[in-house]
Amino acid sequence: MSTLTGQGALVTGGAGGFGAACARALAADGAAVVLLGRTESTLRATAERITAELPDAPAVRWVAGDAESEVDVRKAVAVADETPLRIAVATVGGSTVAPVMALDQRTLEHDFRRNVVSALHVIRHGAAAMARHGGGSIVCTSSSAGGCSFPFLPSYSVAKAALEALVRVSADELGALGVRVNAVRPGLVPTAASKPGLLVADAEQRAVVLREKPLARVGTVEDIAAAVRHLAGPESSWTTGVTLPVEGGSHLRRAPSLEKLARSVLGDEAIDRALTGLLPE
């Protein structure tokens, strides 16, 4: 019998790079995993691939929906709770490259919804289900940007810092219910839909990022999934309210400059205006 046998698990953003890797790690140890994501064909392909790779694990299932929708998250929680829900992993998020002077209210609110509101739905509805079964573990995905100043990523930094605060408060309140809430803080990990992919592709920019990592390599989704698996399982049963950096030691140094990335995304004129204190025209 595997460590997580008999436990239901929900992974939001389940067909993404982080989500799929986390789902596989949980399923490999016997959890009955349900994926939530917006594209049914991608969810199906991800679930079928994991199930084929792990024939002795429970079949991975999926629910098509938006993690920013409370209705969709509640539906996914109900499906995952058919095997008593003990684990929920919130991986949905996203960043917008824009310096402060080019950041508008709409973009800030958009990034806040993607990174914080989507996790709030998982925490609230996941914890309600877990409390009925005596407890469980919720793991959220933050970012290095949540722990230090990341110039040219202000909305992402604000959202991830808020997410980490939500994790701490949730852990404090929900501990009495036996529900643990933690987060992982990935560093440079390229995925198909991520901005870090642009950093990895540019040798000069990649070198700037890796200079700030004592373990000077690019991360993998498996690195993140291993940390999530630890925080989700019984090995971390006395751990709650923490954000675990999984980023090669970046927290020991400083955030790299992403100016070159910002210029490639927004253009030189927009960045030059922002850096001289001018608002967008």
Task: Report, as residue numbers or ranges, the catalytic residues.
Answer: 156
> What number of residues does the chain have?
281
Which of 5, 142, 8 lies closest to 77, judged by CA? Answer: 8
CA dist 156 and 110 (Å) reads 10
In DSSP terms, 64 is beta-bridged to: 37
CA dist 210 and 214 (Å) reads 8
Q: 187 near 141, Cβ under 8 Å?
A: no
CA dist 64 and 57 (Å) reads 22
> Strand 8-12 and strand 85-90: pairing?
parallel
Give me Rg for the CA atoms of the chain.
19
- Residue type for position 83: T
Strands lying side by side in the sheet with 243-246: 61-64, 32-37, 8-12, 85-90, 136-141, 179-186, 243-246
Which CA distances in Å does 170 have to 163, 191, 277?
A: 10, 29, 38
Beta carbons within 10 angstroms of residue 39's beta carbon: 11
Residue 97 host element (H or E): none
CA dist 52 and 19 (Å) reads 17
